[in-house]
A = this chain, B = another copy of it.
């Protein structure tokens, strides 16, 4: 390899390459980043991002909550706090989780800088390079990034419209065990999955818990969207059934607002000490300012009604997207029908490469996330994720219409229609 190639490849002066840790050699910005920079232009309908829609949040009220917090309790709110998180907020988090059938003790809750940090800490305490993590096929791009950073081997397990398929899980475990690798945990998003938008059925939850318990595989249950079911509540959390083998992740990013960066992990007691130490070494302590803002809001404001108004807002947008998909997407394409959350997963004919299609979509003033982002193994070229959470229903219709035209044209060009 010539020096020029090496420089091009790493973006670094030659002598730097061997100064990094092994885990850092693979840390490169994805090629898709530059496209997303374009996609944030206001003339483009972005169906790509998963940003919560804050138009339903009463800013006057939020401003008053933080104002009062600092006036009344500024000396604590602006000071360092506990590495595990504020005791009062940890109690309130238990109340929130009770809505999904979880009975928990505040001592087992660790507050994190968004649930992303909880993912990072869990991976940190479990994964040696080469250890296996099982995930849904497809799975959350942010989790895949973290798992890669700790040099885990990610194995995808098949799902359908009812979520992860238990028999596929059994098969995957058996194959991996034969190869002698260690499976450390399975990472699942049971409710309105990101990116697939599907709900894991209650009976499958039980079956998966049984499989994982008997195989000594921890279940990491990531549940950002569980309270955002459109027409009925989601089934009980998996953690409600199994407090020994489930690590539960929650967040206020979708039920209040993401700018606070307050998430949490509810963990089996046997893991708590190590996770708190890992968190202290990572950030010292989560922000008291953010934590107590959330805590005050939960104490003094009608937070359940607020979640209901978010859900209503998202349902209108979901309807707009599904109606537009019916209307504008060509025959030969299919999609999931979410009962909650933010996302629809689109499957195109296998001949279509959604990465290659992206520049054409941008020209047509619409953006999405190509399916490969949600696989660790290059799979997903003929799928894409659409988000309906952020734009107005009118913009959603406009975006789906444009995207439908781009896909139709591509399918015609390839004589698939």
Chain A residues engaging chain B, CB cutoff 8 angstroms: 11-13, 15-16, 19-24, 27-29, 51-52, 54-55, 57, 59-60, 62-64, 66-71, 74-81, 113-114, 116-117, 120, 124-128, 131, 142, 145-146, 148-150, 184, 216, 218, 253, 257-261, 270, 273-274, 276-278, 280-290, 293
Contacting pair A54 B78 (CB below 8 A) = yes
A68 to chain B, nearest CB (A): 8
Residue in B74, B273, B276 whose CB lies within 8 Å of A59:
B74
What 7 pairs between A and B have smallest CB-CB spacing? A78-B259, A78-B257, A59-B74, A63-B70, A67-B67, A24-B125, A116-B284
Q: How far is the CB of A189 from chain B (nearest CB, A)?
A: 15
The listed residue (B23, B24, B282) touching A116 by CB distance below 8 A is B282
Closest chain B residue, CB of each to CB of A277: B27
A79 and B283 alpha carbons, distance in the complex (Å): 21
| Alpha-carbon gap, A24 to B122, bound state (A) | 10
Query: Using Cβ atoms and an 8 Å threshold, which residues of chain B touch A81?
Result: 259
* Interface-central residue, A74, A148, A260, by most chain B CB under 10 Å: A74
Task: List 15 contacting pairs A-B, 8 Å CB cutoff, sorted by A.
Answer: A21-B125, A23-B125, A27-B277, A54-B75, A60-B71, A62-B78, A63-B68, A80-B258, A113-B113, A113-B261, A113-B287, A261-B283, A261-B290, A287-B290, A290-B290
A21 proximity list for chain B (CB < 8 A): 124-128, 131, 150
A70 touches B59 (CB 8 A): yes
Interchain nearest-CB distance for A388 vs B (Å)? 17
A22 to B124, CA, bound (A): 10
Given the interface pairs A19-B216, A70-B59, the reply to whether A261 lies near B287 with Cβ below 8 Å is yes
Given A21-B128, A259-B287, A284-B116, A78 and B51 contact (CB-CB distance below 8 Å): no
Distance A68 CA – B286 CA, assembled complex (angstroms): 24
- Given the interface pairs A125-B27, A273-B11, the reply to whether A54 lies near B66 with Cβ below 8 Å is no
Give Cα A21–Cα B333 distance, bound, in whole angstroms: 43
How far, in angstroms, from A414 to B221 measured CA to CA in the complex?
Answer: 58
Q: B273 contacts A288, CB within 8 Å?
A: no
Residues A116 and B80 in contact, CB atoms below 8 Å apart: no
A75's nearest neighbour on chain B, judged by CB, is B54
A67 to B64, CA, bound (A): 6
Q: List 20 extra interface pairs beyond A21-B126, A63-B70, A261-B290, CB under 8 A.
A: A20-B274, A21-B150, A29-B273, A29-B276, A29-B277, A59-B70, A59-B74, A63-B71, A77-B259, A80-B259, A113-B113, A113-B261, A114-B283, A116-B284, A120-B282, A148-B281, A259-B287, A261-B286, A261-B289, A287-B290
